[in-house]
């Protein structure tokens, strides 16, 4: 006689979701921290200029790129939320006070501009964000809930989304739940509605379990139970689930030829710290840019005669276009003095290690953290360089 497997028991969250936003800031050691959601990572030139001015006039002069393609401002004085919120709203970066923390949407880099994908997911980003904001109930999603919209090239599907869409062909899209193909497939035109239904099902199942889970996989048997809420119909059918591509260690870097003959430049921002001056330069180079989960920035739609000048201008400010650069392998948390819990100034230490070519984990992808929490750690295989009272400890997690 065989027995059924025991249900997966989710971790219990003992504190309420306090994920920061633009209006609900986090009190860090260096001042207020505001997180600005940027669905799909896309910013217009004018939005970049507004953010640069806010960083310069209200914060510490920098914009931090996050592993979800969002931005953070640090060093905000007490009470700056109102001024910041007003500036962001006027620039179209805060279209909903109630939903602003839940607009976490990753999309395939350069979708619709370069080959490799089956569909252009840019319309999905706009439709998902609009549908999210149009439903009052979805304002209750946790601030860590993540949607991934992958055009089939497999760059964001493996980044631990709660709900996701993965184009399997130009006519078939898979719904991902907890980063796994649910087997529920639909046509591209019906994909966004299915993803939004999955987000609602997460909330329904969380309420049914009396849970305070922040992520779908923290629910007891979360993916299976959410899937049960989504009955197949005439636009969605269960098919054979396919393996989800593993997330790439780093994203594309350098120049990429677009299908329209123009060029996109992709540069890594060391430690994800974009200065206000760098943001202003980006705003002068392109009508829009795209932020990536690898803390890089895409400058698309460049004419052939503008590529070299743009690359030189950005390189001079410290943006990296070399695939062999160690900056593609190194990330850090905020560290001292920005975080009171940190045991070290990890940014300064990491910069010194890169400059001296003495990285403790060699050429391996590594994340420097000031404490055991390891905030900002990217997805995938990463060597942790963790500050302790006795110095840095190297942690290699085995599969």
CB burial of residue 260 (10 Å; 0-12, 13-18, 19+): exposed
* 359 and 292 fall within a common domain: no
Last residue within a domain, chosen from 294, 322, 350: 322
Which residues, in sequence order, are CB contacts of 206 under 8 Å at separation 6+? 212, 213, 219
* 154 and 277 fall within a common domain: no
* 302 and 353 fall within a common domain: no
83 within some domain:
yes
Last residue within a domain, chosen from 289, 322, 355: 322
pLDDT at 291 over 80: yes
* 341 and 388 fall within a common domain: yes
**Which pLDDT value is given to residue 15?**
61
Q: What global pTM score does this model have?
A: 0.92
Q: Residue 352: give its domain's CATH number.
A: 3.30.413.10
352 within some domain:
yes
pLDDT in tens, 65-105: 999 999 999 999 999 999 999 999 999 999 999 999 999 99
Pairing of strands 391-396, 263-268: unpaired
217 within some domain:
yes
Maximum alpha-carbon separation in the chain: 72
275 vs 281: CA distance, rounded Å:
10
pLDDT in tens, 2-49: 233 334 444 555 566 779 999 999 999 899 999 999 999 999 999 999
Quick check: 167 and 118 in contact, CB under 8 A?
Answer: yes
* 56 and 117 fall within a common domain: no
Pairing of strands 42-44, 288-291: antiparallel
Strand, coil or helix: 188: helix
Average pLDDT of the segment spanning 331-345: 91
The token duo for 164 is 């996701």
What count of other Cβ atoms lies within 10 Å of the Cβ of residue 200? Answer: 16
**Which pLDDT value is given to residue 8?**
40
* 229 and 115 fall within a common domain: yes
pLDDT at 352 over 80: yes
* 276 and 353 fall within a common domain: no
Last residue within a domain, chosen from 292, 322, 352: 322
What's the domain count of the chain? Answer: 3
Nearest to 192 by CA among 72, 310, 40: 40
* 69 and 153 fall within a common domain: no
**Which pLDDT value is given to residue 49?**
98
pLDDT in tens, 116-131: 999 999 999 999 999 9
What count of other Cβ atoms lies within 10 Å of the Cβ of residue 115? Answer: 10
Q: Please report, for residues 105, 267, 379, the alpha-carbon distance to residue 160 in angstroms, rounded to integers and kept in the order given.
A: 12, 24, 8
73 within some domain:
yes
* 177 and 218 fall within a common domain: yes
10 within some domain:
no
CB burial of residue 281 (10 Å; 0-12, 13-18, 19+): buried
Quick check: 379 and 385 in contact, CB under 8 A?
Answer: no
Strand (E) or helix (H) holding 282: helix 276-285
**Which pLDDT value is given to residue 12?**
53
353 within some domain:
yes
pLDDT in tens, 157-206: 999 999 999 999 999 999 999 999 999 999 999 999 999 999 999 999 99
**Which pLDDT value is given to residue 249?**
83
16 within some domain:
no
**Which pLDDT value is given to residue 144?**
95
Quick check: 21 and 143 in contact, CB under 8 A?
Answer: yes
* 162 and 43 fall within a common domain: no
Residue 29's domain spans which residues?
Answer: 24-93+253-322
Average pLDDT of the segment spanning 312-341: 92
* 117 and 218 fall within a common domain: yes
117 within some domain:
yes
- The pLDDT mean for the chain works out to 92
* 315 and 341 fall within a common domain: no
State the DSSP string of 349-376: HHHHHHHTT--TTTTS-EEEESSTT-TT
**Which pLDDT value is given to residue 398?**
58
pLDDT in tens, 229-248: 997 776 778 888 999 999 88
The token duo for 122 is 């840019």
Strand (E) or helix (H) holding 366: strand 366-369
pLDDT in tens, 359-397: 888 888 899 999 999 988 887 788 999 999 999 999 887
């Amino acid at each position: 006689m065989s027995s059924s497997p025991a249900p997966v028991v989710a971790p219990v969250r003992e504190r309420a979701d306090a994920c920061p936003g633009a209006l609900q800031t986090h009190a860090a050691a260096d001042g207020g921290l505001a997180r600005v959601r940027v669905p799909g990572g896309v910013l217009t030139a004018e939005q970049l200029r507004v953010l640069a001015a806010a960083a310069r006039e209200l914060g510490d002069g920098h914009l931090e790129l996050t592993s979800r393609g969002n931005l953070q401002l640090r060093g905000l004085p007490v009470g700056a939320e109102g001024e910041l919120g007003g500036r962001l709203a006027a620039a179209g970066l805060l279209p909903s006070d109630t939903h602003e923390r839940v607009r976490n949407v990753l999309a395939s880099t350069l979708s619709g501009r370069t080959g490799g994908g089956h569909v252009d997911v840019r319309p999905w980003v706009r439709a998902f964000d609009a549908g999210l904001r149009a439903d009052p109930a979805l304002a209750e999603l946790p601030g860590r809930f993540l949607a991934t919209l992958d055009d089939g090239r497999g760059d964001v599907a493996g980044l631990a989304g709660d709900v996701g869409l993965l184009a399997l062909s130009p006519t078939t899209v898979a719904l991902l739940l907890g980063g796994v193909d649910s087997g529920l497939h639909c046509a591209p035109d019906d994909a966004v509605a299915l993803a939004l239904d999955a987000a609602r099902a997460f909330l329904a199942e969380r309420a049914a379990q009396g849970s305070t889970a922040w992520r779908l996989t923290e629910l007891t048997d979360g993916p299976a139970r959410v899937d049960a809420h989504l009955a197949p119909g005439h636009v969605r059918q269960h098919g054979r689930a396919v393996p989800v591509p593993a997330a790439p260690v780093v994203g594309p870097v350098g120049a990429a030829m677009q299908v329209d003959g123009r060029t996109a430049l992709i540069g890594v921002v060391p430690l994800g710290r974009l200065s206000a001056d760098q943001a202003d330069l980006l705003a002068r180079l392109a009508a829009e840019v795209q932020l990536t989960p690898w803390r890089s920035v895409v400058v698309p739609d460049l004419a052939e005669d503008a590529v070299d000048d743009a690359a030189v201008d950005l390189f001079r400010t410290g943006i990296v276009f070399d695939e062999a650069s160690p900056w593609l392998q190194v990330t850090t948390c905020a560290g001292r003095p920005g975080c009171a819990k940190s045991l070290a100034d990890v940014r300064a230490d990491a910069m010194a290690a890169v400059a001296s070519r003495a990285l403790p984990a060699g050429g391996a992808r590594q994340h420097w953290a000031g404490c055991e929490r390891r905030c900002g750690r990217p997805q995938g295989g990463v060597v942790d360089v963790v500050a302790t009272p006795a110095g840095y400890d190297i942690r290699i997690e085995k599969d």
